[in-house]
Amino acid sequence: MEEYGAFDVSLVNDLPVFVDPFLLFNSENTIYQQLHNGIIDYMRFLKEVSLAGQVAEPLVREWFTFPEVKQNWLGLSKEGNKGRGLGMDFARALHRNLNNVFRDFGEEEITRSSHLEKLCLIRDGVGRDNISDFTTNLIKYYLANYTQEFALQYLQSSQRRRVALRKVGFNYGTRSWTTEYFELPYHRFELPYPHDDFVLLTPRDIFTKDEAWINRPELLDRFPEIAHALPDATLRAQVNDYLLRTIPHGPKVTNKEVRAAISRAVERFPQLLDYYIRNKEPAITLQWT
């Protein structure tokens, strides 16, 4: 596993490590860069259908939800490997925001590239685990093929099985997800009940143990610094005026109230997200070890 570059998961409980899409973007590995480009292409598709009008609820579920891919055994879970993923509440919010707040997604002029994480900065409760689920769903074909190559090379035939994997690729002609077959590691689990399931491996070099490189808690913590350093003088004046009028003052003001006002400012001036992301983009070397 170590020589192959895969993270050796526990088949007892999820481990608190997460796939960070920024590590795909910032990698010198051209395959990872292509994966990041593929993620952005799908997000552009979601923006196009959102701008075209109201999307029917079944299609919102099919296109905009990103359930946890539990077979990679990553994330936050008290026991086992079953998490929440990004369900219909997130899907409806994403559909709505791509029609207003994120209308420029895929066409940003401030940042070097578009970033999946931007879509998660506008909401509380979407953290590193959710961003990891988001990313894993959109690179599932790569992870399945990566795992299949390992299984065929290192596992006995009794340790693997041909599996039909749903939603591994998106056909933009038919606007539908595809199902493909892979030869994957297969294991007998006893908890929480006896069952068989496949396992997906993930390369170690796209992991983070901490917050994703682009994340909402840092955005809110650094907001005064970001607002003060805005190069657009008009936007800087508008943001500062808005904050003076909306941030509560006085000795009894709580940090929660201040952060709520900052959250409203981010929604009012979504350009701030791009300036925050641009500050995070300079080439760096990050990897999980």
Would you say 20 and 207 are in contact if contact means Cβ atoms under 8 Å apart? Answer: yes
pLDDT tens per residue, range 50-108: 999 889 999 999 999 998 888 887 864 555 456 566 789 888 988 988 887 788 888 88
Name the least confident of 65-74, 210-219, 261-270: 210-219
pLDDT tens per residue, range 99-142: 877 888 888 888 888 888 887 777 665 667 778 888 999 999 99
User: What confidence score (pLDDT) does residue 287 get?
Assistant: 44
